[in-house]
Amino acid sequence: MRLFAAALLAFVLPGEAHLQDRVQVTSGQGAVLRGLDKVNGQTVDVEIFSGGGRAVFGMEVELADCRYPTDNPTGDAYAYLTIHEPEKASVAFRGWMVASAPALNALDHSRYDIWVLRCITS
């Protein structure tokens, strides 16, 4: 599954010079994420600015970058996130999440889901 996500991202993210028809992307100021507590069904939407972090339920989320298609700012969003539980030393998730396909590269946690909704463009 992660291999498929990496292949998908190769078509839209810069740095893949061999692709002739790739989509041009722009980095946003931050991202809007949605968190879900699977135990009680509560959801919360949070804004995180690039280079910053924020608590989402019991998880600490850090955003490195959020990219979107330059010619379609309301189009798909791709965010590079690091997610961990404060009381654990290990990282629960690190990588790119795709707003239109959150299951391609998702947080694997027993209680919480966190996914990208869109980039903050202004």
pLDDT in tens, 75-103: 789 999 999 998 888 899 999 999 999 88
Distance CA 34, CA 22 (A): 28
Query: What is the pLDDT, as a whole number, of residue 13?
Result: 52
Query: What is the pLDDT, as a whole number, of residue 23?
Result: 80
Higher pLDDT, 8 or 44: 44
Q: Quick one: average pLDDT of 53-72?
A: 93
* pTM of model > 0.85: no
Q: Is 115 helix (H, G, I), strand (E, B) or coil?
A: strand
How far apart, in Å, are the Cα atoms of 115 and each of 16, 22, 57, 60? 25, 24, 13, 13
4: confidence class by pLDDT, cuts 50, 70, 90: very low
